[in-house]
């Protein structure tokens, strides 16, 4: 049964055409995802489907009588003052019965009102529905129904909007980035919920595991054309690669034929005959095909990273609390070169607070954080940077630097840098005010990277980024030579980039788990404690093996000499110890020799640790 039919859809803003001539439909029970670059009109399409923004051309037709709901990026609860009012403000008769019953519970002394509400629940058979409502509210951490809407955080407002839509049970759901502001536990619950529910869904999301688990069709908007893939995200990636391979073959064939036809055109044939005119028209069509390019979505950034010394960042018995909320309790960790750390935990446990502590923007209660002299931190925050909306993209970059130093002493202009970061020449002259949310995030990330950091701190870097940008960002970060610590609810991003996790378990307790997010979920889902231990040991071993690499030339040289240095230090220590037997040794000399022995012990310990580290890599 067809629920939605879209024909010849088009939308422009001034001279910029977002899309035109789009045709697609959605049948009952289908779960369809829209995939496209930032700035190409994904949210505009959703708003058009929801009736919030009329298209310039085309028509959108829903099956008569179906209820449509739209989860927007920005929440709007009308005149509702409390969470209770926002949730139960509905025309659904069952929800109205539950609202009356919940209100009666707040005033149990009025037995007549309570009995009337109770009887209405019986007549409507609303008891199971009430359990479902309470489950949704509980899973989305909206337990205080009397909390005022006006004081809710952005994340709480997004969760309230999502709860309201799920509770209303519309026939057709339109969701714009539903996983933003949800912690990992909530995302997995929502994923399971939408997978089981027999609802029809049209969604935009950057969560690739979410797409894989839920969607059975992908629509891709690319270069103005709409491609349809009957499968999940993994199927889409496979078929897109096949499509592009076929397209490249056709382009290569067109180029070969174009060369021959170009020679014919240069001989300036007299286009008097019908065949000649047809051949000339065919030539121009062929020229378009031959000059078509497949975009190589790869961030090419050769900015010279500041050298990272042996001391990076050390956390020694760090404690932090806000009243009764304990963030860290004597937590210690020493960052190593090329560390890839992911931070996970429920919302409100202090993940962002810890990032702020590392950058010095948040104080600690006890312990110490030592930052090495060579460390240059690049901090990507959720709030982003304040950009002058009246400025153009290229002006934002030029305000930081007109030229950017590259490897080997070369330089790159601001325009060249932007182009390598997927901003076309036309896009560079856009005003910041017209950029999409994802484009602003990409520009913000660029301003951080061009300052040559060697320690990246990323707080929810995947929010608002399209799937294409996410892919190229991950490829760039995989090659990044410095350290990365990230907070993210994007499970795919975490799996690809991190090699161990800080698990915030509450009450100041943080577990260091050796593996990525999927490894951790596999570990904690083990049936019993013994199985958990075995799984953990396996992943520790596997991850240790995976992280091994070949020694560089300098490391091999260091390994070959370090043992002899340790032997020399131990010999020097023995020589000094013999001097202590000299009866004529004065106190000053004795103190000097004692200090030297301590220095030797420290050097032996450092070199032994380094020798073991290098030995493990062989």
Tens of pLDDT, residues 21-49? 999 999 999 999 999 888 788 889 999 99
Please state the φ and ψ torsions of residue 303, each to the nearest 5 degrees: -60, 140
Evaluate if residue 615 carries a pLDDT over 70: yes
Assign 251 a pLDDT band (cuts: 50, 70, 90): confident
Evaluate if residue 92 carries a pLDDT over 90: no
Residue 316 carries which DSSP code? Answer: E
Arithmetic mean of pLDDT, 268-289:
63
- Residue 471: CB partners within 8 Å, gap ≥ 6? 297
Assign 222 a pLDDT band (cuts: 50, 70, 90): confident
Please state the φ and ψ torsions of residue 258, each to the nearest 5 degrees: -60, -40
User: In Å, how far from its chain's centre is CA 535?
Assistant: 27
Please state the φ and ψ torsions of residue 378, each to the nearest 5 degrees: -110, 115
Look up residue 51 and give its two tokens. Answer: 């009736």
Assign 312 a pLDDT band (cuts: 50, 70, 90): very high
Half-sphere exposure of 186 (CA within 13 A, CB side): 25
Let me know: does 421 contact 343? Beta carbons within 8 Å: no
Task: Return the pLDDT at 298.
Answer: 54
Distance CA 215, CA 313 (A): 42
Instruction: Provide the 3-class DSSP secondary structure of residue 417.
Output: helix
Task: Return the pLDDT at 48.
Answer: 94
Distance CA 490, CA 460 (A): 8
Q: Are strands 340-344 and 509-513 parallel, antiparallel or unpaired?
A: unpaired
Evaluate if residue 289 carries a pLDDT over 70: no
H-only helix segments in 338-413: 351-359, 393-398
Task: Return the pLDDT at 9.
Answer: 94
Q: What percent of the chain has pLDDT over 70?
A: 87
Distance CA 183, CA 155 (A): 10
Task: Return the pLDDT at 6.
Answer: 94
Angle in degrees, CA 385, 71, 132, rounded to 5: 125
Evaluate if residue 301 carries a pLDDT over 70: no
Higher pLDDT, 81 or 585: 81
The secondary element (H helix, E strand) that includes residue 504 is strand 500-506
Let me know: does 328 contact 508? Beta carbons within 8 Å: yes
Distance CA 160, CA 371 (A): 40
Strands (DSSP E) found in 449-535? 455-459, 483-487, 500-506, 509-513
Tens of pLDDT, residues 425-454? 888 999 999 888 778 888 888 888 878 889
Distance CA 70, CA 312 (A): 47
Find the range with the poorest average confidence among 38-52, 177-191, 409-423: 409-423
Please, which residues bridge with residue 245 across strands? Answer: none
Strands (DSSP E) found in 28-179? 31-36, 57-62, 68-71, 172-176
Distance CA 253, CA 239 (A): 21
Instruction: Provide the 3-class DSSP secondary structure of residue 238.
Output: helix
User: In Å, how far from its chain's centre is CA 295?
Assistant: 22
Distance CA 591, CA 217 (A): 78
Look up residue 4 and give its two tokens. Answer: 């939605």
Question: Is 0.85 surpassed by the pTM of this model?
Answer: no
Evaluate if residue 365 carries a pLDDT over 90: yes
Task: Return the pLDDT at 597.
Answer: 82
Please, which residues bridge with residue 13 across strands? Answer: 16
Task: Return the pLDDT at 267.
Answer: 66
What is the CB neighbour count within 10 angstroms for residue 231?
Answer: 15
Arithmetic mean of pLDDT, 592-609:
83
Instruction: Choose from 358-362, 432-436, 555-559, 579-583 the range with maximum mean pLDDT.
Output: 358-362
Task: Return the pLDDT at 279.
Answer: 67
Please state the φ and ψ torsions of residue 3, each to the nearest 5 degrees: -100, -35
Average pLDDT, the chain: 83
Evaluate if residue 399 carries a pLDDT over 70: yes
Q: Are strands 217-222 and 225-229 parallel, antiparallel or unpaired?
A: antiparallel
Q: Which residue in the block uniquely carries the two structure tokens 């304990």?
A: 326
Arithmetic mean of pLDDT, 150-155:
81
Instruction: Provide the 3-class DSSP secondary structure of residue 454.
Output: coil
Look up residue 178 and give its two tokens. Answer: 């539903």
Tens of pLDDT, residues 542-570? 555 544 555 666 677 777 788 888 888 88
Task: Return the pLDDT at 527.
Answer: 46
Look up residue 548 and give its two tokens. Answer: 């091994």
Q: Are strands 455-459 and 483-487 parallel, antiparallel or unpaired?
A: parallel
Instruction: Provide the 3-class DSSP secondary structure of residue 350.
Output: coil
Higher pLDDT, 360 or 526: 360
Q: Which residue in the block uniquely carries the two structure tokens 């055409």?
A: 17
Q: Dihedral through CA 508, CA 383, CA 178, CA 69, nearest 10? A: 130
CATH number of 2-235: 3.40.50.300
Tens of pLDDT, residues 47-59? 999 999 999 999 9
Using the CB atoms, write b or e for 519-537: b if 16+ within 10 Å: bbeebeeeeeeeeeeebbe
Higher pLDDT, 340 or 581: 340
Instruction: Provide the 3-class DSSP secondary structure of residue 331.
Output: strand
- Residue 121: CB partners within 8 Å, gap ≥ 6? 97, 98, 101, 127, 130
Fold of 313-513: Rossmann fold (3.40.50)
Assign 304 a pLDDT band (cuts: 50, 70, 90): low
Task: Return the pLDDT at 318.
Answer: 95
Let me know: does 468 contact 158? Beta carbons within 8 Å: no
Assign 220 a pLDDT band (cuts: 50, 70, 90): very high
The secondary element (H helix, E strand) that includes residue 442 is helix 437-449
- Residue 588: CB partners within 8 Å, gap ≥ 6? none
């Amino acid at each position: 049964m067809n629920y939605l039919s879209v024909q010849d859809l088009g939308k422009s803003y001034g001279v910029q055409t977002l899309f035109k001539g789009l045709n697609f439909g959605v049948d009952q029970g289908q779960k369809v995802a829209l995939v496209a670059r930032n700035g190409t009109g994904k949210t505009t399409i959703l708003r058009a489907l929801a009736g919030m923004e009329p298209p310039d051309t085309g028509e959108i037709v829903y099956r008569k009588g179906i209820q449509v709901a739209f989860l927007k990026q920005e929440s709007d609860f009308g005149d509702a003052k409390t969470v209770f009012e926002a949730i139960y403000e509905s025309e659904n008769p069952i929800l109205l019965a539950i609202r009356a019953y919940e209100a009666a519970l707040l005033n149990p002394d009025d037995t007549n009102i309570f009995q009337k509400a109770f009887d209405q629940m019986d007549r409507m058979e609303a008891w199971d529905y009430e359990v479902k409502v309470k489950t949704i509210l509980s899973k989305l951490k909206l337990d205080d129904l009397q909390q005022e809407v006006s004081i809710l955080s952005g994340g709480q407002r997004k969760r309230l909007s999502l709860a309201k839509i799920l509770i209303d049970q519309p026939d057709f759901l339109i969701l714009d980035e539903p996983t933003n502001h949800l912690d990992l536990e909530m995302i997995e619950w929502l994923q399971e919920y939408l997978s089981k529910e027999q609802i029809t869904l049209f969604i935009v999301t950057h969560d690739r595991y979410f797409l894989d688990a839920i969607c059975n069709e992908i629509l891709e908007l690319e270069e103005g054309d709409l491609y349809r893939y009957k499968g999940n995200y993994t199927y889409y990636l496979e078929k897109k690669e096949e499509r592009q391979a076929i397209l490249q073959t056709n382009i290569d064939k067109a180029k070969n034929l174009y060369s021959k036809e170009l020679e014919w055109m240069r001989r300036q044939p007299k286009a008097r005959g019908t065949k000649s005119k047809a051949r000339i028209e065919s030539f121009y069509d062929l020229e378009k095909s031959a000059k078509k390019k497949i975009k190589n979505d790869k961030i090419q950034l050769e900015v010279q990273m500041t050298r990272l010394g042996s001391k990076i960042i050390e956390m020694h018995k760090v404690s932090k609390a806000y009243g009764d909320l304990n963030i860290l309790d004597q937590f210690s960790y020493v960052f190593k070169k090329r560390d890839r750390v992911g931070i996970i935990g429920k919302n409100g446990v202090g993940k962002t607070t810890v990032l702020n502590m590392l950058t010095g923007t948040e104080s600690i209660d006890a312990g110490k954080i030592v930052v090495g002299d060579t460390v240059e931190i690049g901090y990507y925050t959720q709030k982003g940077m304040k950009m002058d909306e009246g400025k153009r993209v290229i002006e934002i970059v030029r305000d930081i630097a007109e030229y950017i130093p590259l490897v080997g002493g070369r330089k790159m202009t601001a325009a060249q840098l932007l182009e390598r970061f997927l901003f076309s020449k036309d896009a560079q002259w856009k005003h910041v005010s017209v950029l999409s949310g994802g484009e602003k995030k990409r520009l913000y990330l660029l301003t951080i990277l061009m300052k040559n950091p060697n320690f990246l701190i990323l707080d929810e870097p995947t929010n608002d980024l399209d799937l294409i940008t996410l892919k190229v960002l991950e490829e760039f970060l995989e090659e990044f030579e410095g350290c990365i610590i990230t907070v993210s609810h994007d499970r795919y991003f975490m799996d690809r980039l991190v090699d161990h996790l800080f698990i915030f378990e509450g009450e100041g307790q943080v577990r260091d788990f050796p593996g990525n997010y999927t490894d951790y979920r596999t570990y904690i889902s083990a049936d019993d404690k013994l199985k958990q231990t075995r799984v953990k040991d396996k992943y520790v071993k596997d991850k240790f093996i995976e992280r091994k690499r070949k020694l560089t030339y300098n490391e091999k040289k260091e390994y070959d000499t370090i043992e002899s240095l340790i032997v020399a230090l131990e010999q020097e220590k023995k020589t000094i110890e013999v001097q202590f037997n000299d009866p004529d040794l004065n106190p000053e000399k004795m103190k000097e020799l004692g200090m030297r022995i301590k220095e030797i012990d420290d050097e032996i310990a450092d070199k032994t640790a380094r020798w073991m580290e290098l030995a493990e890599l062989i």
